[in-house]
Amino acid sequence: MRIKKCLVLLFSVFCVGCASTQNEVLIPIKCNLKMPLKPVYDGSFESAKSLMVYFLKVEQIAKDCTQN
């Protein structure tokens, strides 16, 4: 009888410990915004500047898609 109580207690502690480690499940969403064409980087300042503008636009699109 004592062994059963110990096993039940051990099992319940194990279940409670596992229940607190649940992770948030992320669900992918479909975003209807169009991605801009990525500019080619050739090492010049102008191409680096256009690439940075591209990254800022893509970041804004990602923010707009996740706000819903």
Mean pLDDT score, 27-48: 88
Q: In whole angstroms, what is the distance from residue 66 CA to residue 29 CA?
A: 8
pLDDT at residue 53 is higher than 90:
yes
In this prediction, what percent of the chain has a pLDDT beyond 90? 35
Q: In whole angstroms, what is the distance from residue 26 CA to residue 66 CA?
A: 12
Task: For residue 15, name the pLDDT band (cuts at 50, 70, 90).
Answer: low
Mean pLDDT score, 20-38: 81
8-state DSSP, 68: -
Task: For residue 46, name the pLDDT band (cuts at 50, 70, 90).
Answer: very high
